[in-house]
Structure 1
Amino acid sequence: MSMTTPAGWYPDPATPTVERWWDGTTWTAHTRPATVPTTVFTAPPAPGGRGRAVALGAGAVAVVAAIVAGAVVLGDDDEEDGGSVTAGPTAVTTSGSTSSSSTSGSPPAEDPTKVVDQLNGITLPIIQGWEEPRFRAGSAPTVTTVGEYPCPGATNQECRHGTVESRTASGTDATSPEALAKEDIALAADAFFEDDVLGNQLYGGILSHKEIAARPTVVAGRTGYLVRWQVTTGKGPGGYVQSLAFPSPTGSESPVVVRFAFDAGPDGPPLAAMDEITKGILPIGSATGGGVGSSLTPGS
């Protein structure tokens, strides 16, 4: 038997003045200042009707903390008869009914002009001719051009002329946005223009590439760096790929990478759309990034 809690921001079990990201399975390193809680968090009752606050994640820490308007009791790991019950934070309203996630962990109401990346604290703009795809493999926040077409290298598969997705950088030793962008660009090119997750070569593979841009930039109020390649593919007109790296504007400022992939040729989006989307990446809840997308000289 397993009990799971949806991914979201919840009071940190060790530091109640901070919220930590629960990814649906365990606690991550992402944090942000806590908001005033409007719900009470409790662990499910143990067998026999007795509730207890015990381990979180790997099963080590229990905390009961009074915060302004509510008490916070997080987590439960239980083993009985060879089975296990793993619980993250579960939101219970003050009236006693259980909801699927906490108020602080819930994303804002859907906005047709942007896609929210709650984990990284940013929003991706949906510019004219683009949309948030409703059916897409993977969980990365994504915007794409409207409409699909048969992929040049695999006509039984559908492709998009433009795709932009954000992700948390992980498994890297890069210590700066510049180093991260330069490291990620080859991975981004492979992800979009080489084999897909099923091994299909949607564009016939990458034959060659050349760097056409590499520069500092300000995005979501943070100094970042972008690297842009033009790629020649085995099938179709080729394309452009860009890796944009910058610190998250919230919490622990974990590094974020936004990947861009545009088809080349007359059907692909104009390269200017990469800059337009970069300028439109904002901190969650902000209408302006304070210089978002502005180019910087290396000495700035």
Structure 2
Amino acid sequence: MTPPPGWYPDPHAPHQQRWWDGTAWTEHRRPPEALAAPPPGDGTGRTKAVALTAVGAVLLAAIVTGAVALSGGDGSGTESRTAPSSAPRATADPPEPTPEASTSEPSADDPALVEDQLNGITFPLLDGWVRPQYVAQDDVVMTTDGTYDCPGGVGLCRHGMVFSRTVTENDEKSPEVLAKADISEAADEAYDRDSLGRELHGGMTSHRVVKSGPVAVAGRAGYLVRWRVTTAKGPGGYVQSLVFPSSVGTESPVLVRYVFDAGEDGPPLADLDRITRGIRPFGDADTGGGVGSSIGPPG
């Protein structure tokens, strides 16, 4: 029979207790509580000796149970999932959350990068940015964390988004031509009307070019155009279209769109440049720069 949920001697540390949820060990641990007092006796030395003997037996059983579980029976050293023995447990109350159990550490195998496998590139995942979750738009590679009610009174918006896709709808290969052709559509979709025809920001009222020129991206000569967009409601934002040749396959142009809300709630504008400078081909963490001009601050 599987033991019921409760505190049992930790198989990896018999001097501690660990919570068994009825099917598996959890990460909740605590020092063992004081053992129950011996039953009332006549106060003689014989009664005390019996009580001490019982306590010693319980502790010995706990140590043996922990040693057997730790060894795993085959010397592999891997964590045992063996159910606890029938050793007495202090209480069946559920454990309180502890910092050790609730804090998650990033895995060494999960670097702060986002992969675009189709185009063979990676993006740096900066502080405040996350991989896309529950995002309706296509080709999104990262977003700022969380959503907010759009200024236009309809829908939910995000303060920052980055898109990446391959340009396949025409035979044009010039990064400059493609970036200049895309920026207007990018601004319309971000701050004028979305794909459902909603004016999430009350519509776009004006724009101005704050950056335009060649730029080095992953060792390739690219081109970017950046607009500052004014909207009827809310602070507006920045939209950028970046195009550069892919380093894989037919070297079809790669288009990266950036949408950054303006105002104090938007992501740092410097992230536009930091993300661009951090784009790398797969397996080449040192590639970057060397072609075209560097990125300067918006004018």
Structure number with higher strand proportion: 1
2: CA distance between counterparts of 1:272 and 1:159?
A: 21
Who is 1:248 aligned against?
246
Who is 2:212 aligned against?
214
Who is 2:180 aligned against?
182
The superposition leaves residues 115-138 of structure 1 with CA deviations (integer Å, 9 ceiling, x where unpaired) of 211111111221011111221114
The superposition leaves residues 122-166 of structure 1 with CA deviations (integer Å, 9 ceiling, x where unpaired) of 1122101111122111441421111111111134x1111111110
Normalised to the residue count of structure 1, the TM-score between the two structures is: 0.59
Shift of 1:296: 4.9
Alignment of 1:67-82 (within 5 A): none
Shift of 1:292: 7.2
Preserved contact between residue 132 and residue 140 of structure 2 (Cα < 8 Å): no
Preserved contact between residue 223 and residue 242 of structure 2 (Cα < 8 Å): yes
Structure having the higher Rg: 2
Preserved contact between residue 113 and residue 127 of structure 1 (Cα < 8 Å): yes
The superposition leaves residues 93-136 of structure 1 with CA deviations (integer Å, 9 ceiling, x where unpaired) of xxxxxxxxxxxxxxxx9835122111111112210111112211
2: CA distance between counterparts of 1:185 and 1:256?
A: 14
The superposition leaves residues 175-216 of structure 1 with CA deviations (integer Å, 9 ceiling, x where unpaired) of 311111111100111121122222211111111100000011
Who is 1:126 aligned against?
125
Identity within the alignment, %: 56
Paired letter, 2:209: E
Shift of 1:256: 0.6
Preserved contact between residue 275 and residue 293 of structure 1 (Cα < 8 Å): no
Who is 1:166 aligned against?
164
Q: Number of matched residues?
A: 188
Structure number with higher helix proportion: 2
Name the SS of the counterpart of 1:189 in structure 2.
Answer: helix
Normalised to the residue count of structure 2, the TM-score between the two structures is: 0.59
Alignment of 1:37-116 (within 5 A): 111-116=110-115
Preserved contact between residue 149 and residue 159 of structure 1 (Cα < 8 Å): yes
Name the SS of the counterpart of 2:189 in structure 1.
Answer: helix
Kindly tell me: are residues 112 and 150 of structure 1, through their superposed partners in 2, closer, same or farther at Cα, counting changes over 3 Å?
farther
Preserved contact between residue 177 and residue 225 of structure 1 (Cα < 8 Å): yes
Kindly tell me: are residues 288 and 191 of structure 1, through their superposed partners in 2, closer, same or farther at Cα, counting changes over 3 Å?
farther
Paired letter, 1:234: A
2: CA distance between counterparts of 1:293 and 1:195?
A: 36
Paired letter, 1:275: D
Preserved contact between residue 163 and residue 261 of structure 1 (Cα < 8 Å): yes
2: CA distance between counterparts of 1:194 and 1:126?
A: 27
Which runs of no fewer than 5 residues in structure 1 stay unpaired? Answer: 1-108
